[in-house]
Amino acid sequence: MSILNADLHCHSTVSDGTLDPETLAARARANGVELWALTDHDELAGQARARQAALAAGMAYLTGTEISVTFAGETVHIVGLGFDEAHPAIVEGLARTRGGRELRARDMAAELLKVGIPGAYEGALKYVGNPDLISRTHFARFLVEAGVCGDTSEVFRKYLADGKPGFVPHRWAQLGDAVRWITEAGGAAVIAHPGRYRFTPTEEFALFSEFKAHGGQGVEVVTGSHNAADFVKYAEMAGEFGLAASRGSDFHSPAESRIDLGGLPWLPGALTPVWELLDHRITRPG
């Protein structure tokens, strides 16, 4: 069961990806994906389209989202998989989480203006596919267009990361709430790309233990933002904390993403794949 081309993390124009759900489904299928989930940030508006396109293309589908959480002063992402997308717990929780983005975006533009970059709010809006979901990625694309930086990772490094001139601190959802919204709606909560957070070992241990205590069930072991050492480290942590393992590219855009849909290494064999826990939640074609 570990040898399944499952890609359970990616983004469409409903959040900060550049392809729409149908185009992503076709791309996933062409790359050999067998089980797919679209996991737009804090938003479910692409789910029906993604599921329909997946089934039409002959792929199995799990509902998905990626929830923004604030933990120990850092932004942590929690992926939800296989939940009921109409359940009020997750629908209302995500609506509240999305709510602060508009004001934050205006504040980001004001900060960028102070360092000599005008028009960033309007510029970012040109890249937004869903008015409820303006993100740093949209600002990054505008700053590349404006010639401020050569690519989006340079924009994050110089302007949008914590402590840089265009960064505006924001309080996202609480860890326990995000896990509860997902599990109450029948799904499994998964710690996204743990290798990306700048936590001390103590903080990381706290994240995993609190996540587990709240009912979290999985961790991304194989993701586009992990290197080979991270695969080994988080495979061990999954075993240590009794968490299932997930696999997802975190694909956003053909031009920006290093790893394509379906293009990751397999999950290490000794782990329980998260899709085994979610077998009853998978929609299958035919």
Residues that bind ligand AMP (CB under 6 A): 16, 41, 68, 135-137, 152-153, 156, 252
Cα–Cα dist 173/50, whole Å: 25
Query: Least separation, in Å, of the C-beta of 73 and ligand AMP?
Result: 14
Question: How far is the C-alpha of 29 from the C-alpha of 192, rounded, in Å?
Answer: 23
Give the nearest distance from C-beta 269 to ligand AMP in angstroms.
29
CB 179 within 8 A of CB 150: no
Choosing among ligand AMP, Mn ion, none, which partner's interface includes residue 136 (Cβ < 5 to 8 Å by kind)?
ligand AMP
CB closest to ligand AMP, residue no: 135
> Cβ 4 to ligand AMP, closest distance in Å?
25
51 binds, among Mn ion, ligand AMP, none (CB under 5 to 8 A by kind): none
Q: Which is nearer to Mn ion, 5 or 246 (CB)?
A: 246
Residue with tokens 């992926």: 79
Q: Which is closer to Mn ion, CB of 239 or CB of 253?
A: 253
For the CB of residue 101, give the shortest distance to ligand AMP in the complex, in Å.
Answer: 7
For Mn ion, the closer CB: 66 or 85? 66
Cα 66 to Cα 86: distance, rounded to the nearest angstrom: 16
From the list Mn ion, ligand AMP, none, which binds 98 (C-beta under 5 to 8 Å, kind-based)? none
Residue 79 or 271 with smaller CB distance to ligand AMP: 79
Burial label, 17 (beta-carbon count in 10 A; 0-12, 13-18, 19+): buried
- Strand-pairing partners, residue 66, are 41, 79
Q: Tell me the β-bridge partners of 69.
A: 76, 173
- The kind and range of the H/E element at 56 are helix 47-57
**Least CB distance from residue 106 to ligand AMP, whole Å?**
13
Q: Which positions lie near Mn ion, rule CB under 5 A?
A: 16, 66, 77, 192, 250
Residue 195, Cβ density class (10 Å: 0-12 exposed, 13-18 middle, ≥19 buried): middle
Report the partner that residue 68 touches, choosing among ligand AMP, Mn ion, none (CB closer than 5 to 8 A by kind): ligand AMP
Report the nearest approach of ligand AMP to the CB of residue 3 (Å): 28
| C-alpha dihedral (28, 32, 36, 38), degrees to nearest 10 | -20
Q: Phi, psi at residue 32, to the nearest 5°?
A: 90, 10
Q: How far is residue 64 from each of residues 178, 219, 240, 255, 265, measured CA to CA in Å?
A: 13, 14, 25, 23, 21
C-beta of 77 vs 180, nearer to Mn ion: 77
In the complex with ligand AMP, the residue whose CB is nearer, 255 or 270, is 255
Taking the least distance from each CB to Mn ion, the nearer of 5 and 68 is: 68
> Please, what is the minimum distance in Å from the beta carbon of residue 173 to ligand AMP?
12
188: Cβ contacts below 8 Å, ≥ 6 apart: 80, 81, 82, 182, 217, 218, 244, 274, 277, 278
